[in-house]
Amino acid sequence: MWTTAILAGAVIGAGLALVLREFLPSTPKLQAAFDRLGAAAADETITADRPGRHAEFGAWIERRIGFAGFMRAPDKDLSVLGLSLHAHLARKGIYAAAVLAAFTIVGVGNLVQGQFSTSIVMVLPLAFGAWLLPDILVRSKATSAREDFRRAIGTYAELVAMEGYAGRHVSEALLTAAGVGRSWVFVRIRQELNRAQLSGQQSWDGLKRLADSITVPELAEIADIMRLAGEQEVTIYATLKARGKALRVAQLTDQKTGANRKSTNMTWPLLLMGGSFLAILITPAVSRLFSM
């Protein structure tokens, strides 16, 4: 028991020492500093993550582990969730390191006591699975986030049309309508519009860039309609309102279809359950009939 405790403490202490060593101030090499400046991801400037030690740990993983840039979630999935690349890599590294340390300590402790443990054999596959787990979670959350974005686009389009009917300019209508909502979708749209305005770009170009970065074609359609209104001075607010209503109707239809599909899928379990109860009820009678 004492040997296992000492060994576990030594492994944990060595791991903490290695982690703390990376965060201690040191004199950076000039070439490494230039490499880090050139390797910064383009979408890190629009991320919702706050810079901290997680981002530093993710940057360290990107520099030291060659395959980290390939075995990760797509950039567009990270963008729709507002996650930076370094924060995502840090999460992957923490998951893998935790599983690796836990199963290694258990396996080594069993070996010291003279018992073979399967955790020694499974430690690398389990750590690799923990490394991939954040990617799976990001893909699932990104799919749900895109659905939320699409549901909000119809409302946003109709709000822009209402602002246009009130006599506002195209850019002003886009920004004012984005300021009405308080959900994360309207916040992302508002941030992108402000960024386009500060950089001297047109508002519809900012919407188009956001739509491409998060793979939401419905937002790109709204941007194209507003481009037509801004460049050719065409009154498109009736078209925009109709498009917003069409998006909402299409989403409602999809939801009804999904609900009907789920209801149909529930029929078979209910039939199976009813058949099981019927079999339980008639089994004694059938047994007595054949035993006579």
Cα separation, 193 vs 62, whole angstroms: 31
Tell me the two tokens of residue 59.
Answer: 């940057």
In the prediction, which pLDDT does 38 show? 39
DSSP state of 50: P
What is the DSSP annotation of 115-179? ---HHHHHHHHHHHHHHHHHHHHHHHHHHHHHHHHHHHHHHHHHHHHHHHHTT--HHHHHHHHHT
DSSP state of 28: -
DSSP state of 120: H
**Hey, which bits of the chain come out as E strands?**
none
In the prediction, which pLDDT does 16 show? 67
Cα separation, 211 vs 221, whole angstroms: 9
Cα separation, 61 vs 40, whole angstroms: 13
Per-residue model confidence as pLDDT tens for the chain (292 residues): 556 666 666 667 666 666 666 556 555 555 544 444 433 333 333 334 444 566 777 777 777 776 666 667 788 888 888 888 888 888 888 888 888 888 778 777 777 776 666 666 777 888 888 888 888 899 989 988 888 888 888 888 888 888 888 878 888 888 888 888 788 888 899 989 999 888 888 888 989 999 988 888 888 888 888 888 777 666 677 777 787 788 878 777 877 777 777 777 777 777 788 888 788 888 877 777 777 6
Find, among 177, 182, 176, the residue nearest to 156 by Cα. 177
Tell me the two tokens of residue 81.
Answer: 């969730």
In the prediction, which pLDDT does 68 show? 61
